[in-house]
Amino acid sequence: MSYEKITLENKDGIYYLGFGKYEEKSMTVLYKETLMELDTAFGEVASDKKAKGLILFSHKENCFLAGMDVSVIQGLSSESEAITGCEAGQTVFNKLEDLKVPTMALVDGICLGGGCEMILACDKIIASDNPKTAIGLPEVMLGVLPGFGGTYRLPKKVGLPNSLDMILTGKQVRSRKAKKIGLVEAVMPKERLLELANENLFKKFEKNKSMTETLTEKAADNFIARKVIFQKAREKVLETTKGFYPAPLKILDHLEGSAGKKRETYLSREAKAFAELTQTSQAKNLQHVFFLHDESKKLETETEFKKINRGAVVGAGTMGGGIAWLFAKNNQAPIMKDISVEGLELGLKQSSEVFSKAVKRKRMSKDDFNRAQRSISAQLDYNGFKNVDLVVEAIVENMNVKKAVLSEVEKEVASDCILTSNTSSLSVGEMAKSLEDSSRFAGLHFFNPVNKMPLVEIVRHDNVSDETINALYKWVLKTKKTPVVVNDCPGFLVNRILAPFLNEAAYLLQEGVSIKDIDSASLNFGMPMGACRLMDEVGLDVCSHVGEIMEEGLGARAKASDLSKLATDKDLLGKKSKSGFYTYDDKGKQLDVNPKMQALLPNKKKSMDETTIQMRLFLPMINEAANILDEKIVDSAGTVDLGLIFGIGFPPFRGGLLKYADAEGLDRIVDAINSFAESVDKDRYGLSSYLENLAKNKQKFYEASVQ
Amino acid sequence: MKPVYLCSGVRTPQVKSGTDTKDVDAPYLGHYLIRHLMDQTEIPSDQVDEVIVGNTGTPAKYPNIGRVIALEAGLHKQTSGYSVHRNCASGMEAVSQGFVKIASGRSDIIFAGGVENMSQMPLIYNEDMTEFFIQMMKAKTPADKLKVVSTFRFPHLTPVIAIEQGLTDPFCGLNMGATAEKLAREFGLSRLDQDEFANKSHAKAIAAMKAGKWNDEIVPLLAGKNLEKLITEDIGPRDNSTIERLGKLKPYFEKKTGTVTVGNACPITDGGSMWLMASEEAVKKYNLKPMARMVDFHFHGLEPERMGLGPVMAMDGVFKRSGLKLSDMDLVEINEAFAAQVMSCMQVAKEKKYADKWGIDVLGEINPDILNVNGGAIALGHPVGSTGSRLIVTIAHELKRRKQKYGVASLCIGGGQGGAVIVENLEL
């Protein structure tokens, strides 16, 4: 038998089964063919009477097995197909579990999903001390559950609470933690895994559990305790998912209902649960988002570009400090320049707060905090600018000031240094005019707070070079953020689509719809925050300023409500002034609806049903997204959706704004927009001709703009 | 000897111990100065030959602080680093070693300076307690352990204060303050003389601060519990210092008959200073613009109980080495460990009987108008490991400001030594 996905070697009766030898990608995944070969291989070992043992390992560094090929999961078109698929995998892993000889997995690098389920079927798992070694079951993030026996074997190995923690969140555990919870038998230097394999295969590993661990385990192991654990887990799941995601609940039902059942029954229940989940729209949408995100990590280019090793931020403060933090976190010893010590301290505080949180959560040692925070050179002059590869300008949003500063910075840096502006709304093309060499300039728009928001918009203009865009794209990826490349326009991609959402919310308020109704309508749609709450977060002064820019740039359809301006005049700035639509305490915790804001709104309240509010909020977004595609601001519907999911937390289970629109039916959407054009405002609901054409041709967003 | 260039020198703000910098580990009083100096140039990080750092209260966590600073500064891992200790002149010793290496052609680019966090000097278990721990470790059975435990007495917990021990001469047994009292007695210096001197030091330091003179040499230091505060100025000089106030302080070292108080002595302080030193070849290769040339240095010993006179002996030596005279000097720095000690030096320098007694030439009168023109350690403090290089930083910047040529920086060294360095300003 020759193998094409795996390798199998018999050394004195001990079989060595290796992965990744023939995988060209950096990550080895499980294909259907791999499963078939595994089945053959396990059969070969089982039928060899002289076999003494089986050892699984990886030929590849830093990756054991990254799990099942997601496109296989996505391709499951019916429940019965999914069940068949599951059973095939389960059978193979059962075969591994049933081998008479000792079996052991040597895990170096990531081991996820199906990979994790496979090693669970081994007698022993030894993990390497490689910091990249991580084991997990991320299926829940794709809207499904582990279907190759993971839900059966993990609780047996690590106990119920630990399993729930891993299966419900999809979190990965590193070697030390894996040893602690009993997922692996031992942690050893990666260079010695194979060397010691023979010895370890026959060695007995004692679990040394602490008193508390034993007690917790004992306590969890009875009927009442299990009830309580599941009850608590359910509450927690509902709290975090607000019921939008079926997978975690299904996981809980399955684990609770199948507990104590025999392997065969348990596994068939697992397969059924998996199969049901594969057919939900949420799972399909989450997988769609997975592919969008995965695609964004690739940069195919022929052109050479500069590697960015060190950066500088001009303008400390919230954004500047956040960007400095990002540089520092990525070992890029940034320079942070401002015009006052107070400004610098504001930026330092921003960075320090994020790092301190990591220290508190024991994700970072105090020494590392000291090192990282001190790697930021906070200064008032341009010392060292000659030595940086990237400058991010993050000063006040004022075109003239920005132009002056950019032209000043250009004189201080090396000729190949990339210059960028973190503007959120000003024209990048206009700014480029201030520079002698604008081919090395682009917009680089981070979202607030930088540490939490994954999206970065890279904004092109007429003169920018591909080298510049590529270098920025690569750098953004390196910092583990998600880049999208957009063309210059007011608000770029994300804010341009967000603006009508917020603007429409303001109009609704002025029509008499209550703050609470609007926010709960947004939340019930799946948005992470209500529209009014979001305006508080952004700052009403900023909303007002952006509103003006949008109206100026886009004309009547972006006519801004005067509410944010009225509020700003009364010093109701949102969270930063502790007073906006809501009031806030000193720690920024939201308190109640703000009576001062109520005073600016009509006394007479208008009741509007939730669906209508949602349509009023989301239709203008879809319409504006159509305009954006029409103007070729971004290359595809997928980019729009990626931007909104990672930029404003548009609900991933909906697959993105345009995926949602496609599912709802564009003709229905066009009708609804047209009717609002009549009943509400003909400009704000002025139908995008791009959208109109799609509907006319019975096309979807995703069909019209293929990536 | 090849010429040795002092390209650029900077320092931290000097901060009274136990205040804002008490949590700043000593390496972080130096690493960022190197970063700052590197940023002034385009020298690739792998082209630095060595980092030499003076430090006296070696923190247990950083036995070779020079190497730690080199790494923390982001220099290439192949850059070697070491630490030197010559008590109060450790920073000067570092710069002097840099001088020798570059002058002899062994090295081209060296960072040399000093750091000291006196806030973090430890309390140490006394001998009895140490013995107790040793016995506990030896005891195997519970019974043995119990036996050892029973020997415990509360006085075992009385700590040895490292800083106090460090400031006491092990040879003559005198505390540094007591050596200053001795000089005050022998040179007939009154309490008032010393207080007046101290008061002037504060006034000069405050004037320099107000005139923004320190801006060129101080690089703001990141401090605070959460590392979000920038210290931009020295914390120590008093703008409300008066002779009357100083007069109210009680003598600290000889309580009944003494004249030396905490007011006319230097305070315990944290700080660091750093020089980028380079050879002529390196200056040309990297287009550096050196602010000064280091002419030479000299260290000299004398009786430990009169260690305060060390600067005069060292100046005599460096003048002889360089062929320059006191009268060639446009500026003089004598570190103000104690007012009494600096004033004694001024007498020894000009009087033949003293010169004969210590076997040196008569240096001449030290003009008070060019001595410690921006105040000294009485106001600015004395972070022991750093002061030697800090004095060179300060005098070089002041020469540049005044467009004058020569300056000598000197200091007394606990244990009975003196050190002195002559610099020549190149930005005339």
Which tens digit of pLDDT belongs to each residue from A62-73? 999 999 999 999
Residue A387 near chain B (CB below 8 Å)? yes
* Tens-place pLDDT, residues A152-180: 999 999 999 999 999 999 999 999 999 99
Identify the burial level of B155 via C-beta atoms within 10 angstroms of its C-beta, where 0-12 means exposed, 13-18 middle and 19 or more buried: exposed
CB-nearest partner of A374 from B28, B220, B229: B28
Task: Show Cβ contacts of residue A322 under 8 Å, excluding neighbours closer than 6 positions.
Answer: A350, A351, A354, A446, A448, A449, A450, A451
Question: Under CATH, which number does the domain A6-279 receive?
Answer: 3.90.226.10
* Sheet order of strands, A63-65 included: A63-65, A110-112, A134-136, A172-174
Q: Which chain A residue has the Cα nearest residue B39?
A: A384
Instruction: Give the confidence band of A292 by pLDDT, cuts at 50, 70, 90.
Output: very high
Task: Name which CATH class applies to A494-569+596-704.
Answer: mainly alpha
Q: What DSSP assignment string belongs to B107-158?
A: -SEEEEEEEE-GGGPPEE--HHHHHHHHHHHH--SHHHHHHHHTT--GGGGP
Please give, rounded to a whole number of angstroms, the shortest distance from the CA of B403 to a CA of chain A. 24
Judge: A349–B228 Cβ closer than 8 Å, yes or no: yes
Residue A182 phi, psi (nearest 5): 85, 10
Residue A478 near chain B (CB below 8 Å)? no
* Tens-place pLDDT, residues A570-598: 999 999 999 999 999 998 899 999 999 99
Contacts of A386 in chain B (CB under 8 A): 42
CA A73 to chain centre: 20
Selection from B71, B75, B7, B73 nearest residue B46 by Cα: B75
Counting Cα atoms < 13 Å in the Cβ hemisphere of A525 gives: 26
Judge: A387–B42 Cβ closer than 8 Å, yes or no: yes
Q: What is the pLDDT of residue B157?
A: 83
What average pLDDT does the segment B272-300 reach?
98
Whether B68 is in a domain gets the answer yes
CB count within 10 Å of CB A260 equals 8
Per cent of chain A over pLDDT 70 is 98
Judge: B227–A386 Cβ closer than 8 Å, yes or no: no
Q: What is the pLDDT of residue A523?
A: 96
Please give, rounded to a whole number of angstroms, the shortest distance from the CA of A386 to a CA of chain B. 8
Chain B interface, best mutation among A339, A369, A377, by max B CB count within 10 A? A377
Contacts of A387 in chain B (CB under 8 A): 38-39, 42
Contacts of A366 in chain B (CB under 8 A): none
Q: What is the pLDDT of residue A212?
A: 72
Q: What is the pLDDT of residue A707?
A: 43
Contacts of A356 in chain B (CB under 8 A): 226
Catalytic residue among A288, A445, A461, A545: A445
Judge: A348–B36 Cβ closer than 8 Å, yes or no: no
Residue B296 near chain A (CB below 8 Å)? no
Q: What is the pLDDT of residue B166?
A: 79
Q: What is the pLDDT of residue A317?
A: 87
B156 in catalytic set: no
Interface of B with A in 33-62 (CB under 8 A): 35-36, 38-40, 42
Judge: A345–B229 Cβ closer than 8 Å, yes or no: yes
Counting Cα atoms < 13 Å in the Cβ hemisphere of A286 gives: 22
Q: What is the pLDDT of residue B173?
A: 82
Residue A134 near chain B (CB below 8 Å)? no
What average pLDDT does the segment A543-564 reach?
93
Whether B302 is in a domain gets the answer yes
Please give, rounded to a whole number of angstroms, the shortest distance from the CA of B226 to a CA of chain A. 6
The matching CATH number, chosen from 3.40.50.1100, 3.90.580.10, 3.40.640.10, 3.40.50.720, for A311-486 is 3.40.50.720
Q: What is the pLDDT of residue A706?
A: 52
Domain count, chain B: 1
Identify the burial level of A609 via C-beta atoms within 10 angstroms of its C-beta, where 0-12 means exposed, 13-18 middle and 19 or more buried: exposed
CA pair distance A685, B3, nearest whole angstrom: 78
CA pair distance A638, A659, nearest whole angstrom: 8
Beta strands in A433-477 (DSSP E): 441-446, 455-459
DSSP state, residue A667 = H
CATH of the domain at B313: 3.40.47.10
* Tens-place pLDDT, residues B350-370: 999 999 999 999 999 999 999
Whether B188 is in a domain gets the answer no
Whether B408 is in a domain gets the answer yes
Q: Which chain A residue has the Cα nearest residue B23?
A: A370
Interface of A with B in 660-699 (CB under 8 A): none
What average pLDDT does the segment A8-15 reach?
95
* Tens-place pLDDT, residues B18-51: 899 999 999 999 999 999 999 999 999 999 999 9
Q: What is the pLDDT of residue B119?
A: 87
Whether B211 is in a domain gets the answer no
CA pair distance B392, B8, nearest whole angstrom: 11
Q: What is the pLDDT of residue B163?
A: 79
> Residue ranges of the alpha helices (H) in A205-340?
211-220, 223-241, 246-258, 263-278, 281-296, 317-329
Mean model confidence pLDDT for chain A: 94
Most distant CA pair in chain A: distance in Å? 87
Residue B369 near chain A (CB below 8 Å)? no
Q: What is the pLDDT of residue A1?
A: 63
Identify the burial level of A610 via C-beta atoms within 10 angstroms of its C-beta, where 0-12 means exposed, 13-18 middle and 19 or more buried: middle
CB count within 10 Å of CB A291 equals 14
Tell me the three state secondary structure of residue B5: strand
CA pair distance B130, B140, nearest whole angstrom: 18
Residue B74 near chain A (CB below 8 Å)? yes
> Residue ranges of the alpha helices (H) in A479-600?
494-511, 515-525, 531-538, 540-554, 563-569, 595-598
CB count within 10 Å of CB A316 equals 31
Judge: A378–B227 Cβ closer than 8 Å, yes or no: no
* Tens-place pLDDT, residues A337-388: 999 999 999 999 999 999 999 999 988 999 999 999 999 999 999 999 999 9
Contacts of B220 in chain A (CB under 8 A): 341, 378-379
What are the extents of the domains in chain A?
6-279, 311-486, 494-569+596-704
Residue B31 near chain A (CB below 8 Å)? yes
Residue the block writes with tokens 């300003």: B425
Contacts of B76 in chain A (CB under 8 A): none
Q: Answer whether residue A629 shows pLDDT above 60.
A: yes
Whether the ω angle into residue A449 lies within 30 degrees of 0, i.e. cis, is: yes
Judge: B229–A348 Cβ closer than 8 Å, yes or no: yes
Q: What is the extent of the structural domain holding B20?
A: 5-120+267-423
CA pair distance B341, A217, nearest whole angstrom: 72
Judge: A341–B32 Cβ closer than 8 Å, yes or no: no
Catalytic residue among B88, B202, B298, B345: B88
C-alpha Rg value of chain A to the nearest Å: 28
Q: Answer whether residue A310 shows pLDDT above 90.
A: yes
Least confident of A231-245, A315-329, A412-426, B127-141: B127-141
Identify the burial level of A190 via C-beta atoms within 10 angstroms of its C-beta, where 0-12 means exposed, 13-18 middle and 19 or more buried: buried
Give yes or no on whether A311-486 and A494-569+596-704 have one common fold.
no
Q: What is the pLDDT of residue A208?
A: 66
Mean model confidence pLDDT for chain B: 95
Q: Which chain A residue has the Cα nearest residue B30?
A: A374
Selection from B113, B78, B83 nearest residue B99 by Cα: B113
Q: What residues pair up with B276 in beta bridges, in sequence order?
A: B8, B111
Q: What is the pLDDT of residue B159?
A: 82
* Beta strands at B15-16 and A110-112: parallel, antiparallel or unpaired: unpaired
Helices A494-511 and A540-554, axial angle in degrees (round to 10): 110
Helices A281-296 and A637-648, axial angle in degrees (round to 10): 100
CA pair distance A484, A507, nearest whole angstrom: 30
CA pair distance A210, A696, nearest whole angstrom: 68
Q: What residues pair up with B231 in beta bridges, in sequence order?
A: B221
Counting Cα atoms < 13 Å in the Cβ hemisphere of B268 gives: 17
Residue B227 near chain A (CB below 8 Å)? yes
Tell me the three state secondary structure of residue B197: helix
Say what the alpha-carbon torsion angle B128, B132, B133, B134 is, to the nearest 10 degrees.
100
Chain A interface, best mutation among B62, B69, B75, B222, by max A CB count within 10 A? B222
Contacts of A341 in chain B (CB under 8 A): 220, 230, 232
Catalytic residue among B31, B300, B382, B397: B382
Judge: A341–B230 Cβ closer than 8 Å, yes or no: yes
Residue B215 near chain A (CB below 8 Å)? no
Q: What DSSP assignment string belongs to B323-366?
A: T--GGG-SEEEE--SBHHHHHHHHHHHH-HHHHHHHT-------
CB count within 10 Å of CB A448 equals 15
A288 in catalytic set: no
Catalytic residue among B7, B266, B345, B412: B412
Q: Answer whether residue A21 shows pLDDT above 60.
A: yes
Q: What DSSP assignment string belongs to A157-175?
A: HH-HHHHHHHHHH--EEEH
Contacts of A374 in chain B (CB under 8 A): 28, 31-32, 72, 222, 227
Whether B336 is in a domain gets the answer yes
Residue A352 near chain B (CB below 8 Å)? yes
Model pTM?
0.91
Judge: A335–B39 Cβ closer than 8 Å, yes or no: yes
Identify the burial level of B425 via C-beta atoms within 10 angstroms of its C-beta, where 0-12 means exposed, 13-18 middle and 19 or more buried: buried
Residue B230 near chain A (CB below 8 Å)? yes
Residue B32 phi, psi (nearest 5): -75, -20
Q: What is the pLDDT of residue A704?
A: 83
Task: Show Cβ contacts of residue A524 under 8 Å, excluding neighbours closer than 6 positions.
Answer: A610, A614
Give the residue with greater pLDDT, A393 vs A223: A393
